[in-house]
Amino acid sequence: MDYYKMSAAEAAGALQNKEVTSQELTASVLRRIGEVEEEIQGFITLLDENETLLEAEKIDKARASGESLSLLAGVPMALKDNLCTRGIPTTCASKILRKYRPPYDAHVVEKLKETGTVLVGKANLDEFAMGSSTENSAYYTTRNPWDTTRVPGGSSGGSAALVAAGEVFFALGSDTGGSVRQPASLCGVVGLKPTYGLVSRYGLIAFASSLDQIGPLTRDIRDCALVMDVIAGHDPRDSTSVPREKENYTDYLGRDVKGLKVALPRDYFEEGINAEVKKVVMEAVRKCSGLGMEIEEVSMPYTSCALPAYYLVATAEASSNLARYDGVQYGYRAAEAKNLLSLYKKTRNEGFGPEVKRRIMLGTYSLSSGYYDAYYLQSLKARTLIREDFQKVFENYDFIVTPTSPTVAFKAGEKTDDPLTMYLSDICTITANLAGVPAISIPCGFVDGMPVGLQVLGRPFDEGRIFQFCYALESLLGVRNQLPEVNVKRGG
């Protein structure tokens, strides 16, 4: 049986009812990987099959002995390759960390291990999570399962493609400016960026520390809530982790949404949004009224500041965070360096790819003497204004709804020579990171056979009600858990 077609919740239910074993689920996804991975190339590291099946067998034995297990115990999954895994390569898709094996697990990895999920492998990404297409990986470009001539988005493109192709039941990614939500939109899956501080960043290799968040990529809303039940929560090892009472997000599913108010910001539907994408999103928005929700248009005037503010804040923090990769302490070290300065230059020149170098240079420039006030400080002021835009809207509305991506998935190679055009791929998603609010992308339809995502943003720590709303909307949209026919090539 093709168990890989199940959602994570369906697989978990079948395990609990003893209709299937973890070994059978794992064997099913391993067969699927054998069928499609050569085409998709979603993994950087695929763990040994025998060891993976052995982990599944341990869960089966524990369940057979009557041991109390978590709902997701025995469900196969993947991790973005910027999440530290003890003894397993964690490369960030970069030459500079090609041989790095962390001595510890990220917090979210610890939580998933405690839950008993089965790790299948580490997913491809844009190098150091810098990109919107997974074309910046030092290894290869992951392909979109809906059309293998197109990109899956980025930077969590590998994670999104693996879930969409049925190679795992769910995956974790990281989101700095849309890196979970944009690939979720392009691959037709669900992707959540939690509120900043809700999920520990301990063990996430940093890109921009004030923006980064770890989030799940799943087949549907129930799966997303199940994964968040596991990974959310306070961790004292992360100074930005917020101590608050832990919620059960699945408890929100099925609750009535009548009377809730939705804001539709006109600033997210203007220039740059593909007309067909806008049409599909607006059709989905209209269905909200069928749920008894009020929908009103609003203005968020500082949205226009988001792109320049983001690419100054993010690159400045990247410049600082990536300074540690110098060939001395760990990672790649260039050969035949004449002195310490030469070692630094050669290591970083040879170890980093073009996009990472571009962002480091931009960030270093904006932080340099004479330019700090003109660029970086101004970007922080713009960030405050963007945050205030959200606060004002949330005084009167429960949710904000926008497109997730301005276009459907584009052709591989189409935007690689034009960084600015590539950066515009995140125009709808970066504001959530700047403001620190939760945001989710859910599939809402198709344009020319390619998935379109709808983005829902909520108040800080309001993930539960976001799930409540999206679960109700998901059933109306009718595009839940649709797997593409891999190996399809629609392009020329």
Q: What is the pLDDT of residues 177-221, one digit of tens each?
A: 999 999 999 999 999 999 999 999 999 999 999 999 999 999 999
- pLDDT the model gives residue 417: 86
Nearest-angstrom CA–CA distance, 222 and 211: 26
Does 155 qualify as catalytic in the annotation?
yes
- pLDDT the model gives residue 370: 84
With b meaning 16 or more CB within 10 Å and e meaning fewer, what string describes 24-48?
A: bbbbbbbebbebbbeebbbbbbbbe
pLDDT, averaged per 10 consecutive residues of the chain (492 residues), comes to 94 96 98 96 98 98 94 98 98 95 97 98 98 96 97 98 98 98 98 98 97 98 98 97 95 96 94 93 92 95 95 96 91 90 94 96 92 92 97 98 97 90 93 98 96 98 98 90 70 43
Q: For residue 155, say if its preceding peptide bond is cis, omega within 30 degrees of 0.
A: yes
Task: From 320, 326, 321, select the one nearest 364 (Cα to Cα).
Answer: 320
Beta strands across the sheet bearing 43-46: 43-46, 118-123, 76-80, 170-175, 213-218, 190-193, 439-447, 450-458, 399-403, 261-265, 294-298
- pLDDT the model gives residue 485: 83
Nearest-angstrom CA–CA distance, 176 and 315: 11
Instruction: Read off the amino acid at residue 337.
Output: A
77, β-bridge pairs: 119, 170
Q: One of 70, 132, 155, 425 is an active-site residue; which one?
A: 155
Nearest-angstrom CA–CA distance, 45 and 73: 22
- pLDDT the model gives residue 270: 85
| Residue 134 contacts residue 151 (beta carbons within 8 Å) | yes
- pLDDT the model gives residue 487: 59
Q: What are 128's two structure tokens?
A: 């150091």
Q: What 3-state class would DSSP assign to 254?
A: coil
As a whole number of Å, the CA-based R_g of the chain is 21
Instruction: Read off the amino acid at residue 150.
Output: R
Q: One of 179, 185, 405, 425 is an active-site residue; which one?
A: 179
Q: Which domains does the chain have, with CATH numbers?
A: 3-260+411-416+438-477 (3.90.1300.10)
Kindly report the number of other CB atoms within 10 A of residue 10's CB atom. 18
Give ∠ CA 252-278-212 in degrees, rounded to 5: 55
Q: One of 22, 28, 80, 133 is an active-site residue; which one?
A: 80
Task: From 129, 134, 220, 141, select the one nearest 175 (Cα to Cα).
Answer: 129
Residues 6+ positions from 30 with CB-CB distance below 8 Å: 49, 52, 53, 120
Q: What are 198's two structure tokens?
A: 């809700």
pLDDT digits (tens, 9 = 90+) for 288-345: 888 999 999 999 999 999 999 999 999 999 999 999 999 998 789 999 889 999 999 9
CA distances from 28 to 33, 44, 78, 127, 187 (A): 9, 20, 15, 30, 21
